[in-house]
Amino acid sequence: MRILVCGGAGFIGSAFVHQRVAAGDDVRVLDALTYAGREENLDGLDVDLVIGRIEDPGAVEQAAADVEAIVNFAAETHVDRSILDAQAFVTTNAVGTFTLLEEARRRGVRYVQVSTDEVYGSIDDGAFTEQHPLEPSSPYSASKAGADLMVLAAHHTYGQDVVIARGSNCYGPRQFPEKLIPIMVLNAIHGGPLPVYGDGQQVRTWLHVDDFASGIHAVLEHGAAGQAYNVGGAKEKVNLDVVSRIVDLTDASPSQVKHVEDRLGHDRRYALDSSKLRQLAGWAPRVDFDEGGLESTVHWYRDHEWWWRPLVETAEYRAYYRRVYDRDPDF
C-alpha cells in the first residue's frame, strides 16, 4: 500500500512508519520537522521525506501524489504548551486537518485521523466508549476534538472514506522530553527534581507506542467509514505511582519527587473502552507496562543520550522548561 504518513518523523508517527516499512508498504512522510519531529527517527528506513506543514495546501498536494491512503499523526500535542500559547494548536490541529481532508476528498483516498482520549474530557468511573460526547478540557484537546468533528462531518456531508483512531497515553522510545515519562526519566537519572502536578493522583491508562501504531493500522485496514475507534491501553496507573516506579528503575532518590502547583484544567482520569476495535480486528495491546514496557523505555533513554541531548540543550527547550517548571533543566 502507498501511504502518506503526516507527522511521520514524530514520536507515534515514526513508530507507525517503522512498522509499515517492515511490512512492505510504500511510505511517504510529510513532516515540518519542528521541535518534536526529527529525521533521526527515520534512520535506516527507505522512505520519501517531504518537509512541509499540513496546513500548507501546496506541500500537502505534493506529498499526496499517487498515494492510496493518508494517515495524519501531525499535531501539536503537549497540554502545557497549549495553555501557554494555543494559536499553533488551532493552526496545525484544526486548519491542518481540514487541509488534509480536502486533499483526501480531491483524490478519493481513505483518510485516518489519529486522535486522543483527551477529546472526551475526564471520567470518574468506567471507561469512555466511542458514543460518549466530546468534552475537551484544554486548548490542545479542544483543537483535537474540533479536528475529529471535521473528519466526521466530511463523511456525513461528502461521503468521504474517513476513520478516527483515539489513543490513550502513549510511552516508549523517541518521545520528546516534555511528557511525563521521558521528563521524569531524564530528571531521575541526572539527580534533578521530579515535578509532580498537584497531589499526583491523576489516573492515566498507558499504551506502548508500538501497540498504538498497530491499532492505527487495524483501523486503517478494517475501520468502517465515518467511525471512530478507541485504541486504549490495558494498565491504569496513578501518576505518582508511575513516578515512584521510575525512581526505583533509575535508582533515584524519593526525595527528588517535588509536588508543584497543579496544571490549569487538569483532567483527573482517562480510560478508554476498546472493545469496538477488539471485536472488529482482534487488536489488543501486547506490551505490558509493568512487565517490561516501562523498564525498556527507561533503558532506551539511558542508552540514547545522543538522541535526546541535542534537544534539551537548545535555547527554546530551556526557555520552555523554565516557563513550566520555574527552573533550568538539570540534565
Indicate which residues carry an active-site annotation.
117-118, 140
Q: Are 318 and 328 in contact (CB under 8 A)?
A: yes
Where on the phi/psi map is residue 35: left (φ > 0), alpha (ψ -120 to 50), or beta?
Answer: alpha
Cell numbers that stand for 231 in this block = 485504541
Task: Dump the DSSP string for 32-85.
Answer: ---TT--GGGGTT---EEEE--TT-HHHHHHHTTT-SEEEE------HHHHHH-
- Residue showing cell 514520536: 11
> Is the distance from CB of 306 to CB of 300 less than 8 angstroms?
no
The secondary element (H helix, E strand) that includes residue 319 is helix 315-325
Cα distance between residue 82 and residue 116, in whole Å: 15
